[in-house]
C-alpha cells in the first residue's frame, strides 16, 4: 500500500515516449499494481534506519583505527583479498548505484521505481563505506591507492567491470533479472559469505563491520530479486522464455565472475573458511537446486550449464590461482605459492585433483623461487570474448585439456573459454564484438601512458603498461615473499614470516 498512487499518467506526452525502455525487450506487463513492494519502508523510515547503521559502523571503524587494528590480522597475505575486493567489488557497488537509478527511471510501475530508488541509494552507501573502511589499510599497505583508475584498466579487473557494464547496457528488465535475481538472489552468498567470514577468521573486524552493515540491505535486495522474477513470470506466459534466456546467461556470467572468489577462498585467505567446492555445493547445488525446483511451476528450469559448474568445482580455484601466480608481476596484488601445510589442506579438500594435477605445478614454482628464479609469464594470454578471463579453463570432461571454443562473426574469429560463454556471444554478437579486451588493447598499443614511444630503444612494454595502470612496480605487484608489504609487516610487528620454506 505504501507505493500505491504515488505515480501519475502523463497528459501531454505519451507514456510510451516518457518510458521508452520497458517494452523493447519484449516483456509484457499488464498490471503494474500486482507488483508486491518487497521493502515495505517509507523513505523517512529508510533514512532513519540507515543513519543509525552508519553511526555504528563509523564508531567501530574509528575504534579499529585508534587501536591499530590493521596489525591484528592473521597474516599480511590476507591484505591481498582486501585489494581484490577494493578494486574488483567496491567499484561494482558504485556501478550498481548507477544501474538501479537507470532501471528505476525506466519502469513505469511505481512499486518497481521505489524499490530501485532505495536499492540505488543502498549501493552508493556500500561503495562509500567500503572505500572509507579500506582506506585505512591504504595508509600502511600497497596496491590500494587508486582503485577506480585500476578498475577501469587493469587486465583482470575487466572481468568484474565488463560483467556489470553488460547488465547496465541491457534493458531494465534484463538488468534487474541479472543483478537482483541471478546475482543477489542466486549467487550473492558465494561472494559475501567467503569475504566476510574470511575477514572475521583473519581478524579484520573493520571489514566484518561494513559487511554486516551491507548484509542487512542485502536481505532486502534478495527479496526484490525473487519478487521481480515472480512478477514478470506471472504477468504473461510469453515472458517465460525471455526470462529463462536471461537466467541462463547471467548464471554463467556470474559463475565465471566468482572464479576470482574461488581462488580467494582456497589460496588467498591465510585462515580458510571452507573450500570453494564446499561453498558451491552448499550455496548453489543445495540452496539453488531448491529454488529452481520452486520456480519450475512457472516453467523455469535450472540454468543451462549448471552441470559444467559442478564438474569444474574441484579445479576452478587451482586453475585461476595458478594463472595469477604466473601474472602477479602485472597485477595490483601480491601472489605466492601455497606453503606445505596449505598444500596439505588443499589435498584434503580436493582429494581427486590436487595432488595429481596441481601440487606438482606449485611445487615446481616454489622450487624455482628457492633457487632465486621466481618465475613469471612474459607472454600475454588469449582472453575469452565474453567473460574476458584468460583461456585457462579446461574441458568439462578432461581437466588436462584447455577448453577452447570459437565463433565467426562478420568474417572475424572470436574465442571463448566455454560453451556457456560462446552461447552468450552467439545470442548477441553485436554487443560482444565491442568488448574492450585488455590483452588486445595492449597489443594494439592502447595501454601505454600518453606520449609513449614503443619504437624507442630499450622500450619496456610491461613497465609502460604498469605505468598506465598506476601499478607501482616492485611495491603493488609481484611475489609476496619479496614484497615491501611483507618487509614492512615484519619491521612494524616484530614478527618473522616464513619465506618459501626449504623442501623436506
Partner touching 421 among Fe ion, Zn ion, none, CB below 5 to 8 Å by kind:
Zn ion
Partner touching 388 among Fe ion, Zn ion, none, CB below 5 to 8 Å by kind:
none
Q: Min. distance of Cβ 178 from Zn ion in angstroms?
A: 16
Closer CB to Zn ion, 112 or 384, in the complex: 384
β-strand pairing of 412-416 with 398-402: unpaired
Closer CB to Fe ion, 123 or 485, in the complex: 123
Stretch that binds Fe ion, among 115-123, 166-174, 335-343, 406-414 (CB under 5 A): 115-123
Q: Min. distance of Cβ 254 from Zn ion in angstroms?
A: 12
Stretch that binds Zn ion, among 109-117, 162-170, 198-206, 409-417 (CB under 5 A): 409-417
Partner touching 309 among Fe ion, Zn ion, none, CB below 5 to 8 Å by kind:
none
Could you tell me the end-to-end alpha-carbon distance of the chain, in angstroms, rounded to an integer? Answer: 69
417 binds Zn ion (CB under 5 A): yes
As separate numbers, helices (DSSP H) first and strands (DSSP E) second, the chain gives 23, 4
How far apart, in Å, are the Cα atoms of 295 and each of 16, 289, 302? 31, 10, 9
3-state DSSP call for residue 145? coil
Q: Min. distance of Cβ 160 from Zn ion in angstroms?
A: 13
CB 417 within 8 A of CB 393: yes
| Of 421, 435, 447, 465, the one binding Zn ion by CB under 5 A | 421
How is residue 465 written as a grid cell? 603498461
Stretch that binds Fe ion, among 118-126, 145-153, 334-342, 379-387 (CB under 5 A): 118-126
Closer CB to Fe ion, 126 or 329, in the complex: 126
The answer for residues whose C-beta is within 8 angstroms of residue 315's C-beta and 6 or more apart is 353, 357, 358, 394, 399
The length of the chain is: 504
Closer CB to Zn ion, 224 or 383, in the complex: 383
Q: Min. distance of Cβ 412 from Zn ion in angstroms?
A: 17
93 binds Fe ion (CB under 5 A): yes
Stretch that binds Zn ion, among 179-187, 201-209, 358-366, 420-428 (CB under 5 A): 420-428
**Upper half-sphere CA count for residue 500 (Cβ side, 13 Å):** 23
Closer CB to Zn ion, 273 or 387, in the complex: 387
β-strand pairing of 394-395 with 412-416: unpaired
Separation of alpha carbons 282 and 256, rounded Å: 18
Render 244-272 in DSSP notation, one character per residue: HHHHHHHHHHHHHHTHHHHHIIIII-SS-
| Of 83, 97, 113, 126, the one binding Fe ion by CB under 5 A | 126
Q: Which of 207, 268, 264, 205 is nearest to 75 (CA)?
A: 268
Q: Which of 177, 471, 453, 160 is nearest to 332 (CA)?
A: 471
Alpha helices, H only, 351-418: 359-370
Separation of alpha carbons 360 and 371, rounded Å: 16
Partner touching 93 among Fe ion, Zn ion, none, CB below 5 to 8 Å by kind:
Fe ion
Q: Min. distance of Cβ 96 from Fe ion in angstroms?
A: 6
384 binds Zn ion (CB under 5 A): yes
CB 184 within 8 A of CB 57: no
Per residue in 16-47, is it b (16+ CB within 10 Å) or e — as a string? eeebebbeebebebeebeebebbbebeeeebe
Partner touching 417 among Zn ion, Fe ion, none, CB below 5 to 8 Å by kind:
Zn ion
Q: Min. distance of Cβ 97 from Fe ion in angstroms?
A: 8
| Of 333, 387, 442, 464, the one binding Zn ion by CB under 5 A | 387
Stretch that binds Zn ion, among 73-81, 265-273, 417-425, 473-481 (CB under 5 A): 417-425
Please give the backbone phi and psi of residue 309, each rounded to the nearest 5 degrees, phi first: -60, -40
With CB atoms as reference, the residue minimizing the distance to Fe ion is: 126
Separation of alpha carbons 119 and 100, rounded Å: 7
146 binds Fe ion (CB under 5 A): no
Stretch that binds Zn ion, among 24-32, 55-63, 207-215, 415-423 (CB under 5 A): 415-423
CB 7 within 8 A of CB 110: yes
424 binds Zn ion (CB under 5 A): no
Partner touching 117 among Fe ion, Zn ion, none, CB below 5 to 8 Å by kind:
none
Q: Which residues of this protein are in contact with Fe ion, per CB under 5 A?
A: 93, 123, 126
Q: Which residues of this protein are in contact with Zn ion, per CB under 5 A?
A: 384, 386-387, 417, 421
Amino acid at each position: 500500500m505504501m507505493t500505491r498512487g504515488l505515480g501519475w499518467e502523463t497528459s501531454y506526452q505519451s507514456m510510451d515516449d516518457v518510458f521508452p525502455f520497458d517494452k523493447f525487450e519484449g516483456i509484457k506487463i499488464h498490471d503494474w499494481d500486482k507488483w508486491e513492494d518487497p521493502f515495505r519502508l517509507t523513505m523517512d523510515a529508510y533514512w532513519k534506519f540507515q543513519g543509525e547503521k552508519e553511526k555504528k559502523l563509523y564508531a567501530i571503524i574509528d575504534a579499529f583505527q585508534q587501536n591499530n587494528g590493521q596489525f591484528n590480522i592473521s597474516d599480511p597475505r590476507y591484505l591481498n583479498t582486501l585489494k581484490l575486493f577494493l578494486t574488483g567489488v567496491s567499484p561494482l557497488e558504485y556501478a550498481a548505484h548507477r544501474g538501479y537509478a537507470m532501471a528505476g527511471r525506466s519502469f513505469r510501475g511505481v512499486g518497481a521505481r521505489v524499490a530501485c530508488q532505495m536499492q540505488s541509494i543502498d549501493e552508493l552507501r556500500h561503495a562509500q563505506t567500503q572505500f572509507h573502511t579500506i582506506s585505512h589499510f591504504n595508509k600502511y599497505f600497497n596496491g590500494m591507492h587508486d582503485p577506480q583508475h585500476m578498475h577501469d584498466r587493469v587486465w583482470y579487473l575487466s572481468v568484474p567491470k565488463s560483467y556489470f557494464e553488460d547488465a547496465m547496457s541491457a534493458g531494465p528488465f534484463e538488468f534487474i533479472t541479472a543483478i537482483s535475481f541471478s546475482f543477489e538472489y542466486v549467487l550473492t552468498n558465494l561472494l559475501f559469505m567467503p569475504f566476510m567470514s574470511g575477514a572475521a577468521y583473519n581478524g579484520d573486524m573493520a571489514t566484518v563491520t561494513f559487511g554486516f552493515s551491507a548484509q542487512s540491505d542485502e536481505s532486502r535486495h534478495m527479496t526484490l530479486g525473487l519478487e521481480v522474477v515472480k512478477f514478470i513470470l506471472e504477468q504473461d506466459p510469453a515472458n517465460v522464455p525471455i526470462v529463462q534466456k536471461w537466467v541462463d546467461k547471467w548464471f554463467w556470467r556470474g559463475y565465471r565472475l566468482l572464479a576470482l572468489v574461488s581462488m580467494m577462498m582456497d589460496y588467498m585467505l591465510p585462515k580458510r573458511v571452507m573450500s570453494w567446492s564446499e561453498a558451491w555445493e552448499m550455496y548453489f547445488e543445495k540452496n539453488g537446486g531448491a529454488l529452481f525446483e520452486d520456480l519450475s511451476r512457472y516453467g523455469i528450469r535450472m540454468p543451462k550449464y549448471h552441470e559444467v559448474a559442478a564438474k569444474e568445482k574441484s579445479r576452478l580455484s587451482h586453475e585461476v590461482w595458478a594463472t595469477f601466480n604466473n601474472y602477479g608481476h602485472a597485477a595490483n596484488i601480491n601472489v605466492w605459492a601455497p606453503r606445505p601445510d596449505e598444500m596439505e589442506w588443499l589435498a584434503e579438500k580436493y582429494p581427486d585433483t590436487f595432488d595429481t594435477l596441481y601440487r606438482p605445478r606449485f611445487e615446481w614454482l616454489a622450487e624455482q623461487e628457492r633457487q632465486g628464479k621466481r618465475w613469471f609469464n612474459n607472454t600475454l594470454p588469449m582472453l575469452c570474448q565474453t567473460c574476458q578471463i584468460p583461456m585457462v579453463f579446461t574441458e568439462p570432461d578432461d581437466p588436462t585439456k584447455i577448453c577452447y571454443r570459437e565463433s565467426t562473426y562478420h568474417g572475424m574469429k572470436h574465442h571463448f573459454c566455454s560453451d556457456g560463454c560462446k552461447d552468450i556471444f552467439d545470442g548477441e554478437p553485436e554487443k560482444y564484438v565491442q568488448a574492450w579486451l585488455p590483452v588486445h588493447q595492449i597489443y594494439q598499443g592502447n595501454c601505454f601512458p600518453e606520449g609513449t614511444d614503443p619504437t624507442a630503444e630499450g622500450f619496456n612494454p610491461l613497465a609502460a603498461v604498469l605505468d598506465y595502470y598506476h601499478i607501482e612496480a616492485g611495491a603493488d605487484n609481484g611475489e609476496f615473499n619479496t614484497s615491501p608489504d611483507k618487509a614492512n609487516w615484519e619491521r612494524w610487528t616484530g614478527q618473522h614470516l616464513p619465506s618459501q620454506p626449504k623442501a623436506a
